[in-house]
Amino acid sequence: MTPLLPLHELVAAAHSPFHADGSPAPEVVPTQAAFLAANGIRTVFITGSTGESHSLTCDERLALYDAWAAAAPAHGLSVIGHVGSNCLEDSKILARRAQDLGFTAISALAPSYFKPASLSALIDTCAAIAAAAPATPFYYYDIPVLTGVAFPMEKFLAEAPSRIPNLAGIKFTNPDLVSYRCSLDVAGEKLDLPWGVDEMLVAALATGARGGVGSTYNWCPQLYFDLIAAFHRGDLAEARRLQSVSIAMIDAIAATGFLGTAKALMARLGVPVGPARLPLGNPTDQQVDDLLGKLDAIGFSAWGARVPQLAAR
């Protein structure tokens, strides 16, 4: 796979596909890959938060790695493998497989049960994972709302490079724009900080973002391509309008549980990624029908991928 670093683009955080009974469905990955590539995506981030990483066994994640490694090249996609886990040894196994498969990069969020008690401990943890795949760029995945681990990322970037030789940057899923700006100042052109809060993309672009990793890029990438284009041509009113559309769509999906409902939406678009696993919930068919009506009223038909298939079940 051709490396696309730095990630100055939209990266889709892919869903992990399951059968109706919750068992893994890696055979769906080629359909996902074809769908995303057809809608302008060039890089996928797999088995992350959107991919329900903490609800997957290590073996299940490895099977998805293998499936994406087989499917992605045929569609011109590069793959970033999320390798974070509460078990550091599992993270190392995943990192080694990702490197063996030629993934573009790996990424890891912080352990969230036994949490690193200091910034130094967090860097040590990341260094141990990154060392298992020394030839593969490593991104720390900062998502404090889910991990409960919150350290100043600008300090991480100042200290980590000397201890993590293959550090590429941070997947910054943290709404703290002050910390993001400070982190960009430290990173300069040496490190990459793709943004990870889809609802705040305009604000991140204004702060200095040049790319993003997000779940909504699965089902509505054109909205964000248009938003970015409007921002760069100086049409801030249009960029803000499109961000408001994004927020309204995300709120509509989140009303019945964001991840399960987003997966149901993908199924209506022809990509049968199945339900979300417990402890997450899933919407009823009627709730999905109602959602499609709400999305149409918001304007989904203008930007949603493969809209003519929305009515099919």
> Strand 10-13 and strand 167-172: pairing?
unpaired
CB 195 within 8 Å of CB 170: no
Six-digit token pair at 26? 């890696």
Cα–Cα distance measured from residue 124 to residue 156, given in angstroms and rounded to the nearest whole number? 11
Cα–Cα distance measured from residue 149 to residue 219, given in angstroms and rounded to the nearest whole number? 29
Cα–Cα distance measured from residue 58 to residue 2, given in angstroms and rounded to the nearest whole number? 26
Query: Is 171 noted as a catalytic residue in this protein?
Result: yes
What is the chain's alpha carbon radius of gyration, rounded to the nearest angstrom? 18
Cα–Cα distance measured from residue 13 to residue 49, given in angstroms and rounded to the nearest whole number? 8
Six-digit token pair at 198? 């889809």
DSSP letter, residue 55? G
> Strand 212-214 and strand 10-13: pairing?
parallel
Q: Closest Cα to residue 156, out of 213, 194, 197, 118? A: 118
Q: Which residues does 312 contact at the CB level (< 8 Å), separation at least 6?
A: 268, 270
- CA distances to 10, 83, 188, 278 from 211, in Å: 6, 21, 15, 31
Residue with tokens 């080629």: 30
Cα–Cα distance measured from residue 150 to residue 94, given in angstroms and rounded to the nearest whole number? 24
Q: Closest Cα to residue 184, out of 162, 213, 205, 215? A: 205
Active-site hit among 140, 141, 180, 217: 141
Q: Closest Cα to residue 195, out of 161, 231, 170? A: 170
User: Which 3 state secondary structure label does DSSP give 109?
Assistant: strand
Active-site hit among 92, 139, 140, 171: 171
Instruction: Return the active site residues.
Output: 141, 171
